[in-house]
Amino acid sequence: MLFSELPSPCYVVDEDLVEKNLEVLKGVMDRTGARILLAQKAFSMYALYPLIGKYLCGATASGLYEARLCAEEMAGPAAEQGRVLENHIFSPAYRSEDFGEVLKYCDHIVFNSWRQLERFGPRAREAGKSIGLRINPECSTQEGHAIYDPCASGSRLGVTKASFEAGWEANFGARRFAQKEEGAQGQFESRRTLPLMPDGLHFHTLCEQDADALEKTLEAVEEKFGRYLPHMKWINFGGGHHITRRGYDIPRLERCIRRMQEKYGLTVYLEPGEAVALNAGYLIASVLETLHNGMDIAILDASAACHMPDVLEMPYRPPLQGSGLPGEKPYTCRLGGPTCLAGDIIGDYSFSAPLKEGDRLIFEDMAIYSMVKNNTFNGMPLPAIAVRRKDGECVVLKKFGYQDFKGRL
Ligand SMILES: *Cc1c(COP(=O)(O)O)cnc(C)c1O
């Protein structure tokens, strides 16, 4: 069907725009040898996983279900065509009852503490997995976004320099190895509690940032953890790299990658989420009603709280096709959702004509952190999910109804 025939509300992801992003990421991989993974938590629309799997090296998961989704929809189908994709996972704390399944799907398993590595690492090593430890370089590079800053004080994400040193000393320090040589009893002891050296270090500290923030972070990583890097096989730079945003400093990113490769002989991973589907999707919405209270207000069939939660959480103002800033065009209107929440407001926009019932609005940059975060608060219906193919043909892939609301309660 045509774009104009799609239902409302509806998320539409543009295959061509995703592929353009993938080409940019592939360029970085081709020029540097870095390995780039999709962070599924930003974008899990698996209808596009075969396309993504053609360009990237695999995916990373924030938990068991995302890992399984990658196995089923990206790595599995690729393997049938003879291509091996990687399936990484990080979790602040694994559940022991889930860990067998984690081992089934994942090849790279990243732990958040020495204690987690001690508890689950031996099973992972036995199963032939590559093991990583997430570090906290304690280097904040963003202002005003404390909820997106894993380096904020009191952070639960990643091992700080002090904890890393203590764990390293306990496991691999001189005393430990001396003990090993104390004779049969000592050898037995040390074999039973054989220390596990991680294969790689992982950090994730950026959010929608450019390569200058990465460069600064890498300086902190080298200063605090540089002496351990020669023992590692890989380093993972996490996500938050806005590589596909216009103006992003790709040469600087590539210098950062090459430095880690050349100085320490490391394989470099990046796991962007946003950058894969940045500016590659829309949310179609319609005006249900208009009213006036000191200003014009329109109530839409799409909700900020339910269908674009990052608009409230981040917060940000989504671009809207054909609109201007308040006052820029003759008719300014506040756009809000149909829920009970007073703050269910998408934003104030201006138009060349007053909005009326039935008008269709197209919000942009709605592929990322939208479908993966939406909810049915107030019993709101979930938007349909559609794809715009390269030839312009639009196909509705998913429709949701009452059972999707009821089924999770
Ligand atoms: C969120 C996250 C990512 C992806 O971040 P983007 O901002 O979407 O690029 C990658 N790795 C980890 C560990 C994350 O938590």
Q: Answer yes or no: is the C-beta of 35 below 6 A from any ligand 1 atom.
A: no
Q: Strands 281-292 and 296-300, how do they pair?
A: antiparallel
> Considering the entire predicted model, what is its pTM?
0.94
The pair of structure tokens assigned to 104 is 């089934």
The pair of structure tokens assigned to 187 is 């050898």
Q: What is the residue-wise DSSP string for 297-330?
A: EEEESS-HHHH-HHHHHTT----BTT-BSTTTSS
The pair of structure tokens assigned to 67 is 């890992």
Q: What is the pLDDT of residue 192?
A: 43
Q: Answer yes or no: is the C-beta of 150 below 6 A from any ligand 1 atom.
A: no
Identify the residue whose C-alpha is closest to ligand 1 atom 8: 273
Q: What is the pLDDT of residue 383?
A: 98
* Ligand 1 centroid to residue 6 C-alpha, Å: 31
**Nearest ligand 1 atom, CA 41:** 1
Q: What is the pLDDT of residue 162?
A: 97
- How many CB atoms neighbour CB 360 within 10 A? 13
Identify the residue whose C-alpha is closest to ligand 1 atom 10: 239
Which residue type does 359 have? D
Residues lower than pLDDT 70 in the chain: 174-194
* Ligand 1 centroid to residue 174 C-alpha, Å: 36
Q: What is the pLDDT of residue 36?
A: 99
Identify the residue whose C-alpha is closest to ligand 1 atom 7: 240
Q: CA Rg, the chain, in Å?
A: 24
Identify the residue whose C-alpha is closest to ligand 1 atom 1: 239
Dihedral of the alpha carbons of 268, 273, 277, 279, in degrees to the nearest 10: -110
* 3-class SS of residue 336: strand
Identify the residue whose C-alpha is closest to ligand 1 atom 15: 204
Closest CA relative to residue 244, chosen from 11, 38, 390, 89: 38
**Nearest ligand 1 atom, CA 242:** 9
Q: What CATH number is given for 281-366+374-406 in this structure?
A: 2.40.37.10
* Ligand 1 centroid to residue 384 C-alpha, Å: 25
Q: Answer yes or no: is the C-beta of 273 below 6 A from any ligand 1 atom.
A: yes
Query: Which mutation among 36, 41, 112 tests ligand 1's pocket best, with the greatest number of atoms within 8 A of CB?
Result: 41
* Ligand 1 centroid to residue 278 C-alpha, Å: 13
* CA 298 distance to own-chain centroid: 32
Residue 166 CB-half CA count within 13 A: 8
- How many CB atoms neighbour CB 232 within 10 A? 20
Domain 33-277 and domain 281-366+374-406, same fold? Reply is: no
Contacts of 179 (CB under 8 A, 6+ apart): 186, 189, 190
Domain ranges of the chain: 33-277, 281-366+374-406
Is the CATH number of domain 33-277 3.40.50.20?
no
What would the pLDDT profile of 270-296 be if each residue is shown by its tens digit?
999 999 999 999 999 999 999 999 999
Contacts of 280 (CB under 8 A, 6+ apart): 13, 14, 17, 18, 20, 21, 367
